[in-house]
Amino acid sequence: MPDLKSIYGMKYTVLSESQLEIIEIQNQFCSAVISLQGAQILKFQSKTNQTKEDLLWLSELNQYKPGKAIRGGIPLCFPWFGGHKIDSTYPAHGFARYLPWQLIDAIYSESTGHELVFQLKDTAHTRSLWNHSFQIQIKIRCQKNLTLHFEVVNTGDASFEYEFAWHSYFPTDIASAKIKGLRHTEYIDQLQDMQCFTQAEEYIEIKQEIDRIYLKTQGIFEISSLQKPLIYVESDASGAVVWNPWIDKTQRLADVDDHAWQKFLCLECGQLKGASVKLAPHQSKIYKLMISH
């Protein structure tokens, strides 16, 4: 790990109650909190936007236990999304979000803010779940906007296929929330026996539990509500998921307050079911996600 004490605006902390490693960022553009577990950004707040609102939602009931997925922020789902296709005992959404990553680079510039690079490579544990040689990196830019670059590298001698998603949690007032950017897009409704539909409406409004996989999007979205500032999301990944657990499912989620479903929704960009990517030996692929008010 780089010597963070020598880099302006960076602080390394170990949470005493859980031993989870955290990096705090402060610069003229934003403040942010990143967990080394999952290379997961937990909090981001712009200092240049008049709203001063958090860009991400984070559950108040997280216990921050090593090896347990953190609810909120932007967890990374890799190398599969949802449940495993063959073995249901394997962890949902893969292993990347609950493993510790290595911080391999961190820089600060007065003109652009902070940039951090995290890396995860295959181990005996990952090979027991997904028997491939790989290297993945996440570059997080904490500037006026929040920008993530995700790179997948096939370091082995055989091709492999993967799925991934940025499982982004956004704060909203669910009663008035609207999502724009998915009109005329086909989706799989995971609450209606995986049937396929095409969205006719310009805006998605959340009136009940929703869990849809949009197969091919334009990658540009807006999240609006009466009580929260507009959030812009842009990605070059092909798919997106819209999810809110509503009342009943929230009560089954131990790390989410019973009333929290009213305060967030997930818009998850990635390469999802039906859009997995095949990567040849020694090849790589990079994806971008940018979020702003």
The answer to whether residue 159 scores a pLDDT higher than 90 is yes
Domain extent listing, the chain: 4-292
Domain 4-292 has what CATH class? mainly beta
Residues in contact with 69: Cβ distance below 8 Å, sequence separation at least 6, in sequence order: 38, 75, 93, 97, 98
Annotated catalytic residue 205: no
Average pLDDT score over residue span 77-91: 94
Does the pLDDT at position 49 exceed 80? Answer: no
Under the banding of pLDDT at 50, 70 and 90, the label for residue 48 is: confident
Q: What percent of the chain has pLDDT over 70?
A: 99
Please give the angle made by the CA atoms of 200, 236 and 55, to the nearest 5 degrees: 85
Task: Tally Cβ neighbours within 10 Å of residue 238.
Answer: 19
CB contact at 8 A, 149 and 286 = yes
Candidate list 21, 114, 268, 293, residue with the active-site label: 268
pLDDT beyond 90 at 1: no
pLDDT, one tens digit per residue, over 191-212 is 999 999 999 999 999 999 999 9
pLDDT, one tens digit per residue, over 2-16 is 888 889 999 999 987
Q: Give the confidence band of 150 by pLDDT, cuts at 50, 70, 90.
A: very high
- 151 as an active site residue: the answer is no
d(CA 171, CA 223): 9
Q: Which of 167, 184, 202, 282 is catalytic?
A: 167
- Per-residue model confidence (pLDDT) at position 274: 81
